[in-house]
Amino acid sequence: MSRYTGPVCRLCRAEGAKLFLKGDRCYTEKCGLTKRNSKPGQHGTRRGKMSEYGLRLREKQKLRRFYCLNETQFGAVYEKATNLPGQTGHNFLQLLERRLDNVVYRLGFGVSRNQARQLVRHGHFTVNGRKLDIPSALLNPGDVVAVCEGSKEMALLKENSEAAAARAIPAWLSFNSEAMSGSVVSTPIREQIEVPVNEQLVVEFYAR
């Protein structure tokens, strides 16, 4: 599946939930879902009864779009989750949260996951002192993510870092605004992962 390049507010409206794809705008009255809370398209206002398959499909699509992954990437993470001990749904969310691009977003270096992924790909971050430009790299407790020395004067990163100091950082992460760095304190548990989905329905979709 190719990368989606259309209006991202349309995706939020399609799923009926805020996916936070446009950064700070999603928290304002300019949010597309706030301004027009109906499904996109000519027949968006029609609401019929959805089948069980439809419910599971919508949860899967919602979670995939929330983390801004294509079908191949999303499916690969799920396959990895099925091979881990414990509940597959929780393992799935933990793997998605531990991705480098998501950690960069959660720390506030990017206002959206797409922006965070682009910053990672352009080589603006180090992990444990070594430059890493692979967005899908999985981080473990103790890993330290920092802005590269040559990127600390970048206006976008400075602005995002200053704004991040006033934001609520997830409990499984720590943030140092002065050093422009953050670290993974622990593996996130389900209560610490804020996603607008029922992950069990996603597991049921793939297990059908």
Single pTM value for the model: 0.81
The pLDDT assigned to 162 comes to 86
Contact between 158 and 109 (Cβ < 8 Å): no
The pLDDT assigned to 1 comes to 40
Buried b (16+ CB within 10 A) or exposed e, 84-101: eeeebbbbbbbbbbbbbb
pLDDT by residue, tens only, the chain of 208 residues: 455 556 665 565 565 666 666 565 555 565 555 556 666 655 555 556 789 998 999 999 999 989 989 999 999 999 999 999 999 999 999 999 999 999 999 999 999 999 999 999 999 999 999 999 999 999 999 999 999 999 999 999 999 988 877 778 999 999 998 999 999 999 999 999 989 899 999 999 999 8
Phi first, then psi, for residue 178 (nearest 5°) are -65, -40
The pLDDT assigned to 166 comes to 74
Buried b (16+ CB within 10 A) or exposed e, 179-190: ebbbbbeeebee
The pLDDT assigned to 4 comes to 58
The pLDDT assigned to 50 comes to 81
Phi first, then psi, for residue 145 (nearest 5°) are -105, 130
